Amino acid sequence: MPAVTRHPGQTLRADPARVIARLFLPAVDLPPHVGMQAVVENVLDLDEAEVETAAAAIADDFGARHTDLPAILREHASTVASRAGGTPPLSPARQVLLGAVFTAEHAVEGAALCNPSVVAHPDQDDLAPGALRVAVSLRGISEGHVSAIEFATAVVGSGPSWTFEPREHPLVPGHSAPDPVPRSHLRSMLEDADGLDLLARAVLEQLPGRCTSQDLETVLERQPTDLLIHPDAAATAQLLRRLVSSSYSVGFPAGAGLSRRVLLPSDPQEVQGMEDARFVRFDDDGTVEYRATYTAYDGRGVASRLLTTTDLTTFRSARLAGQEAHNKGMALFPRTVGGRHLALSRSDGARTSLATSDDGLTWDRSALVEEPRSVWQLMRVGNSGSPLETPEGWLVLTHGVGPMRRYAVSALLLDLDDPTRVLRKLERPFLVPEDDEREGYVPNVVFTCGAIIHDATLWVPYGIGDARVSVASVPLGELLEEMRPVA
């Protein structure tokens, strides 16, 4: 096996102090005779002096833990007031108190921190010669096992070193807004959902090339009565609304450093979590952007979604379509191959296959790449991040699950021009849980969602037991030399 160097001094651990302030509507926690209106009335009945004292205490106790807490609380107060049937005009202090009663701190990584991926950072200023700044995505797991996407930064080199930069506080959730959906992709999503009936076809013909929810409602109103009273019309209209509203953008203020940014669920498809983002720097004909696939979980099923960003400040999220988009763990190639977008996927849940796409949004299966054969991967195999281009081929890190549900990391080498051809592979994993890496939120797991090559070295940030994140490095030449040809 190639020489693997672990860097235990560079470890990120779950930090329960990384919190955001979220709207808190505890209907299930209130006794039957108490409702939201009763709580609002309790706040309204308080003496103004008592309200001002309480609001000042809230600012003292929680203000430093959040960015512009008063604005957050006023927004929550407005939401609550509208749901409770309205309130009389409130003083600023009473708005803060009302908002605080219906606000709770949410520890984004209160349960676990794991599953990193890594790309070159867009900012390479103020570095020593030979050094590279990288952006590391992280999966934070919170109360209720809900996942969000967080970030850290690190500097690789010069020399054989990796240094995580301090993660800043407080967290900034970002502002989410609807994003138009390409009409062609709406058609693909409808086909995917078996919802392309007469009403859907009629609506598609009249929508603009990129459509919003408002566009959809305008077109629906114009449909003939016979179509709208069809027994399936209500379900089709609801499906159209859900799909058109499934794309969104999230923007962060320029002053919020990358490690303060957190992407939270913003669509019903991902309401129970955004898991295992696999970021890649996508460069096609000189047009560069960052892309990531991640697993959306709604509490019942999983699907893959796509993030795109040019600067890691404004992100766009879109639902994917096609038979390869209905499972976990897609990983995009960093450029098109033969004019087509490619991705590694695991649509059957156990084997790695190669998916293809014309537009990067609708994915079809192309060929089987790897299936479980060795003891260490008897349960399943999958990719561990986007392929890395080398002169000898596409280097693909893989993971396998074997006896006692132990996860380990290995590698394949695919042909540059025909990635369906496996040229070489490691006969055994090069990264397995060591004795001090066995315990965690999920025992016996080492797992990565992406690595990077710098200065002839493969750098692999990896999660340990779904509890912390560390880094390993491997000389690239040794790794490639250890791989054996595949017959």
- pLDDT at residue 396 greater than cutoff 90: yes
Chain centre to alpha carbon of residue 216: 28
**What integer pLDDT is reported at residue 390 of this predicted model?**
98
What is the spatial distance between Cα 426 and Cα 1, in angstroms, rounded to a whole number?
A: 8
Burial of 88 (0-12, 13-18, 19+ CB in 10 A): exposed
**What integer pLDDT is reported at residue 366 of this predicted model?**
77
Chain centre to alpha carbon of residue 312: 13
The confidence band for 30, taking pLDDT boundaries of 50, 70 and 90, is low
314 pairs with which residues across the strands?
Answer: 251
**What integer pLDDT is reported at residue 84 of this predicted model?**
64
Q: Decide: 309 and 290 in contact? Cβ < 8 Å.
A: yes
Q: What is the average per-residue pLDDT within 417-432?
A: 96
475 pairs with which residues across the strands?
Answer: 457
With b meaning 16 or more CB within 10 Å and e meaning fewer, what string describes 127-157?
Answer: eeeebbbbbbbbbbbbeeebbbbbbbbbbbb
282 pairs with which residues across the strands?
Answer: 289
Q: What is the average per-residue pLDDT within 222-240?
A: 93
Q: What is the pTM of this model?
A: 0.94
| CA nearest neighbour of 138 among 417, 471, 477, 483 | 471
What is the spatial distance between Cα 38 and Cα 348, in angstroms, rounded to a whole number?
A: 50
**What integer pLDDT is reported at residue 34 of this predicted model?**
61
What is the spatial distance between Cα 294 and Cα 317, in angstroms, rounded to a whole number?
A: 10
CB atoms near residue 31 (< 10 Å): 7
- pLDDT at residue 455 greater than cutoff 70: yes
The angle formed by the CA atoms of residues 194, 199 and 204, to the nearest 5 degrees, is 85
pLDDT per position as a tens digit, 305-355: 999 999 999 999 999 999 888 888 999 999 999 999 999 998 788 899 999
Relative to beta strand 341-345, strand 287-297 is: unpaired
Residues whose CB falls within 8 Å of the CB of residue 246, separated by 6 or more in sequence, listed in order: 181, 189, 267, 269, 318, 319
Tell me what percent of the residues of the chain surpass a pLDDT of 70: 98
**What integer pLDDT is reported at residue 85 of this predicted model?**
67
What is the spatial distance between Cα 233 and Cα 226, in angstroms, rounded to a whole number?
A: 10
Relative to beta strand 274-284, strand 248-251 is: unpaired
What is the spatial distance between Cα 388 and Cα 375, in angstroms, rounded to a whole number?
A: 26
CB atoms near residue 333 (< 10 Å): 24
The strands making up 132-141's β-sheet, listed across from edge to edge, are: 112-120, 132-141, 147-156, 162-164
Q: Which domains does the chain have, with CATH numbers?
A: 5-14+110-174+252-485 (2.115.10.20), 19-107 (no CATH), 180-244 (no CATH)
- pLDDT at residue 31 greater than cutoff 80: no
Residue 439: DSSP 8-state: -
**What integer pLDDT is reported at residue 308 of this predicted model?**
98
Q: How many CA atoms lie within 13 A of 254 on its CB side?
A: 0
What is the spatial distance between Cα 349 and Cα 157, in angstroms, rounded to a whole number?
A: 37
**What integer pLDDT is reported at residue 39 of this predicted model?**
86
pLDDT per position as a tens digit, 249-299: 999 998 899 999 999 999 999 999 999 999 999 998 788 999 999 999 999
Q: What is the average per-residue pLDDT within 156-172?
A: 94
Lowest-pLDDT choice from 79-88, 318-327, 412-421, 457-466 = 79-88
| CA nearest neighbour of 243 among 298, 316, 174, 188 | 188
The confidence band for 37, taking pLDDT boundaries of 50, 70 and 90, is confident
Chain centre to alpha carbon of residue 480: 30
